[in-house]
Each structure stands twice: as structure tokens, then as C-alpha cells.
């Protein structure tokens, strides 16, 4: 089945989440799914319903929320998996079950320990069962690129005959090259009986750095669905980058002559959201969404850009949702300029939110010479209103001689708490302070602590990511400040608040000093040493 439109199948919430350390909560998955649904993604693979109760709940919630996209759940070629996927998708407007079976000899011999003929029976039964629940069934030939073409063709025929409407030929281990991927699709689509009754799809892994190139080769050979992830996240070296494929189709329409329904101006927003919930930063030179994607430093390039932007830009920043820092923001900027900057960044807030954000902006501007777009976005992501744990004050004593000491003040449910602790460094001392006052922190295991500068320069704001795990639940918190240690404490509090919302429990200790006060915004940090 061919057309001039490419279906974009997003698997950020399934394969993307399989990357180590990328686990998302139900709430985080819903946030991402809502953005994907709104930006024109055709198919959202919401998860693997059989994997856990949490994954089942996430798939179910996304299926009920989505207004536009087809919602898909992965299922092994097992009856229990398929029935579980069907149950999770029963309230979806447009449900799809995605089942799979390996076809390569190495997988059948060593992993499944069955013959090729037995595998064909498994494929038939799985697709038939899935089709009994929905008319939209996708079947994947796992490790297709290492499968003998004759047998791959037979397997595809069986899947189509059983009712599969989409056939995925994935490069499961990132083994393929553009030439071999193109040849695979050309052969199967030409020789498989009733190939015209199904949409052919490609899922590329990036083990050799060829995922995007391979995806485009599949498109040129007749594939009309591409499976990809935001920022290219995924198992091992990742998946095909959604933003790269979408923009390649758009910018090189002269080559491909194909359309897709993705609203490209939302790409940067989606990228930033996925970065936020996973804690995985995008490399600065990443195509389309990297910090340097539209940066020009070379004098020759700058000269060309000043004369005509088309000399060195093949796409506009605006086309992917990127805005330039045309208006220099600093301590002399007023509310009007700040509001205009928010509008330029695509952010609309109420008057109360504007006032609060502006106060925090002026506080930051007193510490930094120049405020960049990234700084403002970080500011707006640090609203502590109505949170159980809120940063108040911090004093640090550290150096090569003597103990590393932290004195931390924090708000816990309207009470100001303070603690002073020693540690193996200022961060350790600070985290010990938190644990002495919030029992939630003691119950949670620190899985990730990551620091990076939001902007360049010695006065750069630091953004810290903290990931905590408790009772099998993973949450990611973020904090930003010109003081790295303040950002670290804010990130820890952010994660604790997410855990608190998951369980709705309050833990207070009877140690240190307690001062009842009204709920007010966090006090300005005091950092010594």
C-alpha cells in the first residue's frame, strides 16, 4: 500500500523509555503523550501493557486522553500479552495492537529455540488473536535485517493473511545500511503476496549512527510509516530521531516528494519536555534541536548570514519552534520587555504568574550580566507554589581544610525547618540536611545526580537533575539557579514533591527547630563559602 503521505509512529514512551535511566512516571508519560497528540503525531506507542501494572495504567490513561492519534500498545506473540494490550486500549478512539516475532535464524535458534515453520504458526495465531480485538494490527519481524529474504517474505505473507494491516521490518540491532534497507523493502514488497494490502513500516536503531539515513532509504523504497522517538532516545545507541526524519522530509521535499502531518513548530517544545522528564540532555550539536543547531560562530558564516540567511540556513529556526535571542534581557529590562520575551518564546501566563516570574527574573538578573532564552525557560520551570517541600535558605562551609558543612532551611507543609550537617563534600552535607527533616528522602534511593550549565559564561545558571526511586517508582526532579548547590537542593525538593504526590503522605521528624509560619514564597538563598 503506497501513498504520498508518511505516517509518523512515535515510540518515545515505549522503546525510548527502554534506555537505561529513562523510565517515566504515569504522569510524565501523559504530559509527553498530550504534546505528541497535539502536534500531529499519527501513532503513539504508549507502552508495553504487559510489562507492569504501571505500564498498563499509562497505556490505558493515554488511550482515554488522546483525541487525534492512534494509540498503540506493544505485545509479544503471546495470548496473555495481546489480551492485556486489548484491555488497556479498550477505551481508545483509535486503538492499535502491535505484536512481533523474531524471524532471523540467530534469534529463532538461540533465543526462541523453534523452527522457521513453528515461528510462522506463532505469527499467524498472534495476528489472528489481535485482529479479533481491533481492525488495526501491526506485526513486526524482529531482526528483519538479519533474516534471509525468502523466509522474511513468507513471514510477511502469513501476517498479512492473518489480518495485519501494517508490516514493520525493523533494524532491531542497527545492522543495516541504506543500501541493504532499501533492497530489503524493495524485495519483500515486490514478492510478498498481497503486499499492497498493508502499510510497510521501518523501525531503525542507531548502533552504527545510520538510523535516520536508513529510515529515509526505507521511505524511498516504498515504506510509508517510520517509527522513531523524540531526541532519538532508545535502547543502546537509540532510535531514529523523529525531528530529523520529519525535517528531512520537509526540507528535501524535492527529493522525497512526500508529506507528513507533524506540526514542525512544536518539535523544540517536545524535545525540551522529553529532556525534562528523562533528565537526558541533548548534545549541543544535535541536528534540529541541539543548542548549536542554529548557531553561527565562523566569521565567514556570520558574514553570509548578515547578507542573506539562506546562505547558511537550510531551514528557519522558527520552523522547528526555536527563537533567537534578539532582545537582550538583563537587570534593566521592564515588565513589558519581559512579557514580550515570554510571548516570543510561545509562553502565555496570567498576571499573577507573570508577576511572580518577573520577580524571579529580576533576582536572577542581579546575578547575571545577560539573561538568555534558556534561563527564562528554566525560571518558569521552578514554580514552588503549593508544593509540600520548598527551598528556603542555604549556607555552605567548605574548603580543603576542615569539615564540609551545610545549614539548610526548608518549608515543610507551612513550617520552616532548619538543619546543620557535615558530609563528604557540600552536596552530601546538603542532602543529609534534607534527609534529617523529610523522611521521604530517607525512603528514596538517589539514582541520578546530574549538573549542567544552561548557558555559557562564568555566571551561567546551573540546571541540576535528581532522580529518586521509592517502592519501584522513579521520579525526576529539576532545579535551576546561578548557585549550583541551590539548584541541587531545588532539584531534590522537586523530586520529593513528585514522590509525595504519588503517595499523598506527609512525613515530619521531631528533630531540629520548628517554626510555624504562613505559606509564603521561598526565601532568597544565602550561600556562604
30-82, pLDDT tens digit by residue? Answer: 999 999 999 999 999 999 999 999 999 999 999 999 999 999 999 999 999 99
pLDDT confidence of residue 520:
38
What confidence score (pLDDT) does residue 455 get? 65
Query: What is the C-alpha separation between 486 and 394, in angstroms, rounded?
Result: 7
pLDDT bin (cut points 50, 70, 90) of residue 324 is low
Q: Choose the weakest-confidence range: 185-194, 368-377, 420-429, 450-459.
A: 368-377
Helix and strand numbers (H, E) in the chain are 18, 15
Give ranges for CATH 3.30.160.270 in the chain: 389-516
Closest to 452 measured CA to CA, from 275, 292, 236, 297: 275
What was the pLDDT predicted at 192? 98
Predicted confidence band at 434 (pLDDT cuts at 50, 70, 90)?
A: very high
What pLDDT is recorded for position 353? 78
Taking the C-alpha atoms of residue 344 and residue 322, their distance in angstroms, rounded to an integer, is: 10
Using DSSP's 3-state secondary structure scheme, residue 195 falls into helix
503: Cβ contacts below 8 Å, ≥ 6 apart: none
- The predicted pLDDT at position 373 comes to 62
Can you tell me which residue has the cell 502469513? 158
**What is the reported pLDDT for 263?**
97
Question: What pLDDT digit, counting tens, does each position of 469-494 carry?
Answer: 887 777 778 888 888 999 999 999 98
In a 3-state reduction of DSSP, which class is residue 323? Answer: coil
HEC sequence for 353-412: HHHHHHHHHHHHHCCCCCECHHHHHHHHCCCCCCCCEEEEEEEEECCCCCCEEEEEEEEE
Count other Cβ atoms within 10 Å, centred on residue 110. Answer: 10
Arithmetic mean of pLDDT over the chain: 86
CB 489 within 8 A of CB 394: yes
- The rounded distance, in Å, linking the Cα atoms of 255 and 257 is 6
Q: CA 274, CA 13: separation in Å to the nearest integer?
A: 10
Higher pLDDT, 271 or 518: 271
Per-residue confidence (pLDDT) for residue 306, from 0 to 100? 59
CB-based burial of residue 492 (10 Å sphere; 0-12 exposed, 13-18 middle, 19+ buried)? buried
The proportion of the chain whose per-residue pLDDT surpasses 70, expressed as a percent, equals: 84
Task: Cite the beta strand spans of 165-303 per DSSP E.
Answer: 166-168, 199-203, 225-228
* pLDDT, tens digit (0-9, with 9 covering 90-100), for 92-120: 999 999 999 999 999 999 999 999 999 99
Reported as a pLDDT band with limits 50, 70 and 90, residue 414 is: confident
Average pLDDT over residues 520-524: 39
- Residue 60 DSSP class: H
What Rg, from alpha-carbon coordinates, does the chain have?
26
Pick the CATH number of 389-516 from 3.30.160.270, 3.40.50.300, 3.90.199.10, 2.60.40.1930: 3.30.160.270
Instruction: Looking at mean pLDDT, say which of 277-281, 372-376, 446-450, 507-511 comes out highest.
Output: 446-450
Q: Are 138 and 165 in contact (CB under 8 A)?
A: yes
CATH number assigned to the domain covering 7-278? 3.20.20.70
Mean pLDDT, range 202-225, rounded to an integer: 98
Sign of CA dihedral 497, 17, 239, 187: negative
Q: Which residue has the cell 546562505?
A: 311
For residue 94, what pLDDT is reported? 98
Q: Is 64 helix (H, G, I), strand (E, B) or coil?
A: helix
Q: Of residues 509 and 306, which shows the higher confidence score?
A: 306
Closest CA to 172 of 143, 200, 215, 136: 143
Distance, CA of 490 to CA of 248 (rounded, Å):
39
Q: What is the spatial distance between Cα 211 and Cα 237, in angstroms, rounded to a whole number?
A: 10
Residues of the chain with CATH 3.20.20.70: 7-278
Q: What is the DSSP letter of 457?
A: S
Angle of the 53-65 helix axis to the 26-38 helix axis, nearest 10: 30
Nearest to 231 by CA among 494, 518, 32: 32
Q: Which three three-digit cell numbers place residue 116? A: 522457521
- Per-residue DSSP letter, 284: T
CA angle 443, 444, 449 (to 5 degrees): 150
pLDDT in tens, 124-144: 999 999 999 999 999 999 999
Closest CA to 72 of 53, 56, 59: 59
pLDDT at 383 over 80: no
263-322 pLDDT, tens digit each? 999 999 999 999 988 888 888 789 999 877 776 544 555 566 557 777 778 888 889 988
Amino acid at each position: 500500500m503506497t501513498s504520498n503521505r508518511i505516517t509518523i509512529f512515535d515510540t518515545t514512551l515505549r522503546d525510548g523509555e527502554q534506555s537505561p535511566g529513562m523510565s517515566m512516571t504515569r504522569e510524565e508519560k501523559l504530559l509527553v503523550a498530550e504534546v505528541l497528540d497535539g502536534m500531529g503525531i499519527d501513532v503513539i506507542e504508549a507502552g508495553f501493557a504487559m510489562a507492569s501494572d504501571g505500564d498498563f495504567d499509562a497505556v490505558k490513561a493515554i488511550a482515554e486522553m488522546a483525541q487525534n492519534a492512534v494509540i498503540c500498545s506493544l505485545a509479544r506473540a503471546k495470548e496473555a500479552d495481546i489480551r492485556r494490550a486489548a484491555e488497556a486500549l479498550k477505551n481508545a478512539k483509535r486503538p492499535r495492537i502491535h505484536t512481533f516475532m523474531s524471524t532471523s535464524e540467530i534469534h529463532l535458534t538461540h533465543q526462541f529455540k523453534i523452527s522457521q515453520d513453528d515461528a510462522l504458526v506463532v505469527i499467524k495465531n498472534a495476528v489472528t488473536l489481535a485482529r479479533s480485538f481491533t481492525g488495526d494490527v501491526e506485526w513486526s519481524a524482529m531482526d528483519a535485517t538479519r533474516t534471509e529474504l525468502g523466509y522474511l517474505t513468507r513471514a510477511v505473507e502469513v501476517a498479512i493473511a492473518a489480518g495485519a494491516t501494517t508490516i514493520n521490518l525493523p533494524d532491531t540491532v542497527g545492522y543495516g545500511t541504506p543500501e541493504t534497507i532499501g533492497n530489503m523493502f524493495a524485495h519483500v514488497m515486490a514478492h510478498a503476496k498481497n503486499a499492497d494490502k498493508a502499510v510497510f513500516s521501518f523501525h531503525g536503531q542507531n548502533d552504527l549512527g545510520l538510523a535516520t539515513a536508513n529510515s529515509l532509504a526505507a521511505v524511498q523504497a516504498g515504506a510509508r510509516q517510520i517509527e522513531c522517538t523524540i531526541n532519538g532516545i532508545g535502547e543502546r545507541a537509540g532510535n531514529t530521531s523523529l525531528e530529523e526524519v520529519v525535517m528531512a522530509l520537509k526540507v528535501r521535499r524535492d527529493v522525497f516528494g512526500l508529506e507528513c502531518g507533524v506540526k514542525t513548530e512544536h518539535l523544540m517544545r517536545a524535545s525540551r519536555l522529553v529532556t525534562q522528564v528523562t533528565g537526558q540532555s541533548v548534545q549541543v550539536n544535535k541536528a534540529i534541536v541541539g543548542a548549536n543547531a542554529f548557531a553561527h560562530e565562523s566569521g565567514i558564516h556570520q558574514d553570509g548570514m548578515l547578507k542573506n540567511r539562506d546562505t547558511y540556513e537550510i531551514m528557519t529556526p522558527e520552523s522547528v519552534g526555536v527563537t533567537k535571542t534578539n532582545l537582550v534581557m538583563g537587570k534593566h529590562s521592564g515588565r513589558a520587555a519581559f512579557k514580550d520575551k515570554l510571548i516570543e518564546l510561545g509562553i502565555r501566563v496570567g498576571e499573577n504568574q507573570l508577576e511572580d516570574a518577573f520577580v524571579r527574573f529580576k533576582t536572577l538578573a542581579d546575578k547575571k550580566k545577560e539573561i538568555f532564552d534558556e534561563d527564562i525557560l528554566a525560571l518558569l520551570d521552578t514554580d514552588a507554589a503549593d508544593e509540600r517541600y520548598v527551598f528556603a535558605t542555604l549556607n555552605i562551609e567548605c574548603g580543603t581544610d576542615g569539615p564540609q558543612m551545610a545549614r539548610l532551611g526548608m518549608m515543610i507543609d507551612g513550617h520552616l525547618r532548619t538543619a546543620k550537617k557535615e558530609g563528604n563534600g557540600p552536596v552530601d552535607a546538603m542532602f543529609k540536611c534534607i534527609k534529617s527533616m523529610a523522611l521521604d528522602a530517607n525512603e528514596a534511593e538517589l539514582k541520578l545526580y546530574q549538573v549542567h550549565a544552561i548557558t555559557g559564561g562564568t555566571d551561567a545558571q546551573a540546571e541540576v537533575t535528581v532522580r529518586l526511586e521509592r517502592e519501584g517508582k522513579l521520579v525526576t526532579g529539576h532545579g535551576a539557579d546561578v548557585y549550583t548547590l541551590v539548584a541541587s537542593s531545588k532539584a531534590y525538593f522537586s523530586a520529593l514533591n513528585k514522590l509525595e504526590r504519588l503517595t499523598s503522605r506527609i512525613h515530619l521528624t521531631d528533630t531540629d527547630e520548628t517554626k510555624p509560619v504562613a505559606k509564603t514564597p521561598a526565601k532568597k538563598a544565602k550561600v556562604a563559602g
